[in-house]
Amino acid sequence: MDPEDPRLDQALLRGLTQRRISRRDALRYAGMGLGAAGLTAFLASCGVGSSSAAGSSSPANFDWSVQQLNHQLNFANWPYYIDTSHGTHPTLDTFKQQTGIQVNYKPVINDNQAFYAKISPELQQGKSTGWDIIVITNGAQLSELIDNDWLIPLDMSLLPNFTKYASDSIKNPSYDPGNKFSVTWQSGFTGLAYSPQATQALGREPTSLNDLWEPALAGHVGMMSDNTELGSIGLLKLGIEPSTSTPDDWNKAAEVLQQQKKDGIPLGYYDQGYVNKLENGDTWLTQAWSGDIFLANESGYPELKFVVPDEGVMFWHDNMLIPAGAEDPLDAITYMNYVYDPQVAAALANYIWYVTPVPDAKSIVAGLPGGKAVSESPLVFPDQAMYAKTHQYYVYKGTSDLNEWNSIFDPIITG
């Protein structure tokens, strides 16, 4: 045996005989490998399947004739959207007296998307959302609810007040032909609101959407973070009608909005909180919803004003819907009918100050305490001249349509 034989080198032998993988390690890795293989098999079979509401109770074959009154109603709505007096809601109390139905009223909706995100998983599994009436603005969420069969179709024979008293502007709308699933709760306008500081900075009152692009107001302009509102205002500024716009138009509107951002004009993109920014004086001119400014005037900011821009306002509708799986649909439709009674509509209009769907309420409101000014305001009872200035939102044709709109306008907000 040659002492120099490399096979006898101690270091080499130590290295060769060193344990690379012990038996325990081998078992562990094998187990992990099997686990991973099992996981991948599991993953491949994964994938949330398409929804299917339980067959027999599918809204499409909903039978109104077998429904019974349960004398209770779960009503989800937006805040400050119903008459309130000393902690109670007079119209709800009167409703209970007339029909015996107890309304469980909860102003839990602050945002269409957030609320929709809460109820859509339940609807997808065919479960009840816990609500009998929900109020959703016309837009992507409403179209999605309709397309997926998640709303109970309304029986017009149970809504005589609607047929008789509803305004023409909300009958047979483009987003819900024939009012198959929805009747409007209130409508509203998206226009401009400003404080005296804007008048001071501009040297005149703001009158046009172009004022939102004014360098004199740089850093003090508020825009909305709802990309439907934001995109529509961009389109209106360019003189394009949103309801008939095309993706090319959207790109042009996005360019204009990006330019506004580059010039440092908007302070930020806000949701309902835009009112606070206006009240605090951080923004001087902002996109605004008509009724909010009325409310701000009443809560200690009388100097704020809402103005209808020259280019026009966006006209939106908040609609009452009965979600699939609702437990008290007959009570719900009874309430919907009740709301279209002109007396009730007047009581609501006198508090809410958004556009009521019942024009006949005008004369009744004029007789209510504090109602004279409300009845004469074109923002609550629009006349023909006001209607001529309204524009409708673009109605998305489908998810891919919506995704295209989002991909064009989201970068402006999230930049």
Partner 1 sequence: MRLARRLAPYGLTGPGALWLVVFFLIPMFAMLVLSLETPLPTVGFKQAGYQFTWHFSQYSQAWSQYHVQFVRSLVYAGIVTAVTLVIGYPVAYWIAFKGGTQKTTYLFLILLPFFVSFVIRSLAWQFLLSSDGIVFSNLERIHVLPQGFHVLGTPTAVISGIAYNSLPFMVLPLYVSLEKVDRAVVEAASDLYASSREVFLKVILPLSIPGIFAGFLLTFIPAVGDYVNNDILGGTNTTMIGNIVQREFLNDQNYPLASALAFILMIGLMIGILIYARVLGTRQIEEYV
The position carrying tokens 């009388």 is 302
Task: Provide the 3-class DSSP secondary structure of residue 186.
Answer: strand
* Strand runs labelled E in 71-155: 72-76, 102-106, 134-137
Contacts with partner 1, 375-414, as mask; x by CB under 8 A: ---------------------xxxxx-xx--x---x--xx
Q: Does 360 bind partner 1 (CB under 8 A)?
A: no
Q: Does 9 bind partner 1 (CB under 8 A)?
A: no
Contacts with partner 1, 51-90, as mask; x by CB under 8 A: x---------------------------------------
Q: Does 127 bind partner 1 (CB under 8 A)?
A: no
**Do residues 275 and 300 make contact, with C-beta atoms less than 8 angstroms apart?**
no
Residue 107, CB half-sphere, CA atoms under 13 Å: how many?
A: 9
Q: Does 160 bind partner 1 (CB under 8 A)?
A: no
Question: In sequence order, what are the residues at sequence separation of 6 or more whose Cβ sits closer than 8 angstroms to the Cβ of residue 219?
Answer: 264, 265, 267
Which one of the spans 265-273, 299-307, 326-334, 363-371 is the region binding partner 1 (CB under 8 A)? Answer: 265-273
Q: Does 282 bind partner 1 (CB under 8 A)?
A: yes
Please, which residue, 226 or 249, has the CB nearer to partner 1? 226
Strands 182-194 and 390-391: what pairing? unpaired
Q: Does 289 bind partner 1 (CB under 8 A)?
A: no
Q: Does 38 bind partner 1 (CB under 8 A)?
A: no
Q: Does 50 bind partner 1 (CB under 8 A)?
A: yes
Residue 172's φ and ψ, nearest 5 degrees, are: 55, 55
Radius of gyration of the chain measured on its C-alpha atoms: 29
Structure-token pair, residue 221? 């302009």
Instruction: Provide the β-strand partners of residue 322.
Output: none
**Do residues 410 and 227 make contact, with C-beta atoms less than 8 angstroms apart?**
yes
Q: Does 280 bind partner 1 (CB under 8 A)?
A: yes
Please, which residue, 232 or 356, has the CB nearer to partner 1? 232
List interacting residues with partner 1 (CB under 8 A): 43-51, 113-114, 117, 124, 140, 143-144, 146-148, 219, 227, 261, 266-269, 273, 276, 280-282, 396-400, 402-403, 406, 410, 413-415
